[in-house]
Structure 1
Amino acid sequence: MANIKQIAEAAGVSVATVSRVLNHHPYVSESKRRAVEEAIERLQYSRNMNAVHLIKGITQTIGVVLPQINHPYFSQMIEGIAHRALECNYQLMLCQTNYNLDEELKVLNMLRNKQIDGLIVCSRSISLNQMEAYTPYGPIVLCETLHNSTLSSVYLDHYTSFQKAIHYLWDKGYHDIGFTLYRHNSSNSLRRKQAYTDTLHALGGQPRKEWILMNQIGIGGGANLAKWFLQMNEKPSALLITGDDLAAGFLIAAHQNGLRVPEDIAIIGFDNQPIADVLNITTIDTRLQEIGSRAFDIAYQQINGEHEGPVTEELSFRLIERGTV
C-alpha cells in the first residue's frame, strides 16, 4: 500500500502538502490539491484513522446509510442490522443523509479511508455507477433489487408484492384502485408503479394518475391522504398505502369523517408494522428486519473473506389478511 512519501513523489509536492490535503487544510493551491488527489486515486492510497485499526486492519464498525432515522420503514431495518451487529461484536455508524448526494459521498469516502469496514445502504440518491467505484475499498450492500453489479444486495420484489396486492383486491371486487408512493424516482417506487400499470391493464382495469398520491409519510400524512380522498369527485374503491403508519393515519381520519372501512374504501398497508396488528390493517409483510439482518451478514462475511464477489439475495413476502379489505 502506498504511503504519504510515495504520494508526495507521485504528485511532485512535499510530504507536508500531502498532509494538508489529507486533512482538508484550506491553504493549498488548487493545482497542488488536484495533483495530490490524482496521485491518491492512481496509487489507491487508503488512509487509516487510528493506529490500533492500522495494526488490526479492521475497525469493527459498519456504516449504515439511511435518509431518515425516525421513519418506521428504516427503523425496522435498523433493528435487524443492530441485532446481528451486537451478536458479532460490531459497532454501527448511522449516517442520516436526507437523500443528499454530498452526504452519501462523505460516507463512501469513510469506507475508502478505512474509517469503517463495510457499508449497508438502506436507500440512496447516488447512482450505482458512482457507488460501484468504491467497491475496492470494502463491501457495500444495498437493500434494493439489484442484478449484474459489483455491489451486493438483499431485497424483496416490490413488483410482485404490488401485483399480489392488486390481484387480492380485484378478486374481492375492488376494481378502482389507487396507491401512494413516498419517492417517485426510487428503484422500489418505479417497480411499484410499473406493477400497478401492468397488473390493472392485464386484469382489464384502468390505472389512474389522479389516484396516485406522492410524498406523504407517517400518521399525519395518512390524515392528509384522507382529506385528499374526501375531496375527490371520482374516488377509488381501494388504496394500496405504502407504509402501515400512513395507513393507520388514513384509517383513523376516515373513521373520524364517517367513512366505513372496507365498505366505503378498502386499504392494504405495507411492511407489517406493529400498528397494523393493533388496528387490524390488512398488509404486506416486507420482512424489513430480516432484510436488515441479512444485509449485515453479507457485509460481515465479505469483511471476513467468506464471500468473494457480490452476493444477491431475494426474500419472499406474504399478504396478511385482516379487517380493512
Structure 2
Amino acid sequence: MGNIHDIARIAGVSAATVSRALNGHPYVSDDKRAAVLKAAEQLHYEKNINAVHLAKGKTDTIGVILPFVSHPYFGFILGGIAAEAERQGYKLLIVQTNYDILQEIDALNMLKLKQVDGLIITSRECPIELIEDYSEYGRIVLCEALAHSRLSSVFVDQFKAFQTALSFFTQRGISRIGYTVLRAEGKSSLARKKAYEEQLSRFHPEWVFDRALTIEDGTRIAGEWAAMTDRPNAMVITNDFVAAGFLLECRRLCFAIPEDVAIIGFDNHPLSGALDITTVELPLHELGTIAFQQVLLKDVTHHELPFRLIHRNSV
C-alpha cells in the first residue's frame, strides 16, 4: 500500500495536491482530482484514520457506555441515540460493561486518548467523582439526575416515578406492597427504597426482590413470592419484562391477577400492553435523543423528562 508521496509521483502532482484531493478540498481541478483518485486506487491506498482524526481535532464518533446491549430498556435509549447520531452525521462506539468498573474506566480512557469526541453513560458503577475527572478530556453526558455536577444529564426522576406507583396502590387501599430492583445498592434502587420509606409506615426488607432484569427473573421472583407465608398483595416491578414473567408464573401457579397480587411495571414496553399490565411509561427513546444532542454542546445542561402511569387490568 502506497503513501501520498507515491500517489503524487504517479499522478504527476504535489503531495499537497494529493492531500487536498483525498480530503475533498474544493480548490482542486477535476483532472488532477481524477488522477489522484486513480493513482490511489492503483496503490490500494487507505487513509491513516488516526492521522486524519489528529489533523481534524475530532473523530466524529461518540462512545456509548451501557451495562447490557440486549436489554430492551437500554435498547430503547440506544435507539434514540443512534437515530440522532445518524441525523447529525456521527458514528457510535458501543461499550457493554456489565457494571464492571474496569470496563467503564477503559471506556473513559477512550475519551482521554481522543478515540471518541464524547461519551454518553446510560448507567454506571463508577463513582461520579472519577467520571468528573475525565470531563477535562471531552464531553460526558449521564442518563441520571445530576443537578449539581460538572457533567450534563438527562433523566426521569426515579424517586417521583416510584412514588407515583406506590400512591396508585395506596389510593386503592393497598398497603402490603413489595417491589423488585436490579442491584440493591444501585442509584435507582436507593431512590426507590427512600420513596417506599417515605410513603409507607413500615419497610419490609423481605418484600424487596433483587436481580430483577429479565422475564426469567420475573418467573423466579414469582416463585419466591408464592413460597412466602407472609407475602405482599401488590408488586412494583423493575420493568415490564420482569412484570410479564412474574404475572405469567403467578397465573401458572393459579394465583389471580389483580385479586391475589396487583402488579405495576415500568417502561410501557409493547409487551405490557399485550398482557394488560399497568405500567409507568418512561420516554426512553427521547432520553437517548436528548443525550446525544447534549454531548455535542459546549455548555453543561440538565433535562428532566416526564413520565406517566398507564392504568390497565393488573391493578
Tell me if both proteins adopt one fold, taking TM over 0.5 as the criterion: yes
Structure 1 Cα separation of the partners of residues 287 and 196 of structure 2: 24
Q: Please report how far the alpha carbon of residue 216 of structure 1 lies from its aligned counterpart in structure 2 after TM superposition.
A: 2.4
Structure 2 Cα separation of the partners of residues 225 and 244 of structure 1: 14
Structure 1 Cα separation of the partners of residues 184 and 290 of structure 2: 26
Q: Please report how far the alpha carbon of residue 207 of structure 1 lies from its aligned counterpart in structure 2 after TM superposition.
A: 2.1
Residue type of the partner of 2:61? T
| 1:244 counterpart = 2:234 | no
| Counterpart residue number, 1:289 | 285
Rg: which structure is higher? 2
Are the counterparts in 2 of residues 181 and 215 from structure 1 also a CA contact under 8 Å? yes
| Counterpart residue number, 2:254 | 258
| Counterpart residue number, 1:12 | none
Q: Please report how far the alpha carbon of residue 93 of structure 1 lies from its aligned counterpart in structure 2 after TM superposition.
A: 0.6
| Counterpart residue number, 2:112 | 112
TM-score by length of 1: 0.80
Secondary structure, in 3 states, of the residue corresponding to 1:268? strand
Listed as ranges, the matches of 1:150-169 within 5 Å are 150-169=150-169
Structure 1 Cα separation of the partners of residues 90 and 313 of structure 2: 41
Residue type of the partner of 1:132? E
Identity of aligned residues (%): 44
| Counterpart residue number, 2:59 | 59
Residue type of the partner of 1:73? Y
Are the counterparts in 2 of residues 119 and 139 from structure 1 also a CA contact under 8 Å? yes
How far does the alpha carbon of each residue in 1:174-229 deviate from its partner, in whole angstroms, 9 at most, with x for none?
1100000001112111111100111113xxxx221110001122110011011011
Structure 1 Cα separation of the partners of residues 270 and 154 of structure 2: 23
Structure 1 Cα separation of the partners of residues 119 and 167 of structure 2: 37
Q: Please report how far the alpha carbon of residue 49 of structure 1 lies from its aligned counterpart in structure 2 after TM superposition.
A: 7.0
Residue type of the partner of 1:288? L
Are the counterparts in 1 of residues 212 and 238 from structure 2 also a CA contact under 8 Å? no
How far does the alpha carbon of each residue in 1:104-148 deviate from its partner, in whole angstroms, 9 at most, with x for none?
111111101110000000111111111111111111000011121
Structure 2 Cα separation of the partners of residues 73 and 182 of structure 1: 12
Listed as ranges, the matches of 1:54-133 within 5 Å are 54-133=54-133
How far does the alpha carbon of each residue in 1:9-48 deviate from its partner, in whole angstroms, 9 at most, with x for none?
xxxxxxxxxxxxxxxxxxxxxxxxxxxxxxxxxxxxxxx9
| Counterpart residue number, 1:193 | 193
| 1:313 counterpart = 2:295 | no
Are the counterparts in 2 of residues 104 and 126 from structure 1 also a CA contact under 8 Å? yes
Are the counterparts in 2 of residues 49 and 115 from structure 1 also a CA contact under 8 Å? no
Secondary structure, in 3 states, of the residue corresponding to 1:236? coil
Paired residues, number: 268
Structure 2 Cα separation of the partners of residues 104 and 121 of structure 1: 9
TM-score by length of 2: 0.83
Structure 1 Cα separation of the partners of residues 83 and 313 of structure 2: 32
Of residues 224, 232, 238, the one that matches 2:228 is 232
Superposition CA RMSD, Å: 1.2
Structure 2: runs of 5 or more not aligned: 1-47
Secondary structure, in 3 states, of the residue corresponding to 1:50? helix
